[in-house]
Amino acid sequence: MSAIMMARSMTRALPDDESLEVTLLELVGAVSDECKTEAEVVATVLHILASGRARLRGAFRGASLRELMGS
């Protein structure tokens, strides 16, 4: 399953106007349980965050994707 398809299936149960509020650790942990490679984990987490299906809480709350990627 592609990373994008995995991200969609993980957030499908949410209504379109809702998003999950999770820590980065929780999101990476949940995604890594379903992914085979580190590259899939990164791509899936970025897709979920970029699509607005999840928002970060905790230390990374409000961080941009660019900040998360270290750019």
Vertex 7: Cα angle to 29 and 43 (nearest 5):
75
For the chain, give every domain's residue range: 20-68
pLDDT, one tens digit per residue, over 45-71 is: 998 999 888 999 999 999 998 998 886
Question: Is 27:70 a contact under the CB 8 Å cutoff?
Answer: no
The two three-digit tokens of residue 2, written as one number: 């592609």
Provide the phi-psi class of 20: left if phi over 0, else alpha when psi is between -120 and 50, else beta. beta
pLDDT, one tens digit per residue, over 6-58 is: 666 666 666 667 788 899 999 999 899 888 999 999 998 998 999 888 999 99
